[in-house]
Amino acid sequence: QVQLVESGGGLVQAGGSLRLSCVASGRRFSYYGMGWFRQAPGKEREFVAAIAWSAGETVYADDVKGRFAISRATARNTVYLQMNSLKSEDTAVYYCAISTVRFYRGTSREEYDYWGQGTQVTVSS
């Protein structure tokens, strides 16, 4: 089974930055790409960003364009989410996920097969 471990969450003031990491490990596994989702209390889990593993193509939710950047280190099976200019609305548990097949758009939960346990991001005013 593939294991996904997120890290890097924490408490940050509005306008600050955090960098989240997600490391995939375990059995050898071929996957198309990885994505980040987030879920705040009482809200649906929503798409944040995704990256195709080989080509590095990215897609972002409108709310985070220009503020967040997704990247990967393929040799380390690691995906990052650099979050800048954080707002209180960004407060949520952030999850990384693996897609084993080619993306349709890469923005739907149904496109992902494996999920991490999440890391909390709290942005204070």
Q: What is the CA radius of gyration of the chain?
A: 14
Rounded Cα gap, residues 41 and 106, in angstroms: 23
Return the structure tokens found at 82: 């650099």
CA max distance for the chain: 43
Q: Is the pLDDT of residue 31 over 80?
A: no
Kindly report, residue by residue over 45-100, the tens digit of the pLDDT: 999 999 998 889 999 999 999 999 999 998 898 999 999 999 999 999 999 999 98
Tell me which residue of 82, 87, 7, 90 sits closest to 51, measured CA to CA.
82
- Who has greater pLDDT, 68 or 25? 68
Residue 28 confidence (pLDDT) above 90: no
pLDDT score at 29: 64
Q: How far apart are CA 29 and CA 79, in angstroms?
A: 15
- Once rounded to an integer, what is the mean pLDDT over residues 30-58? 93
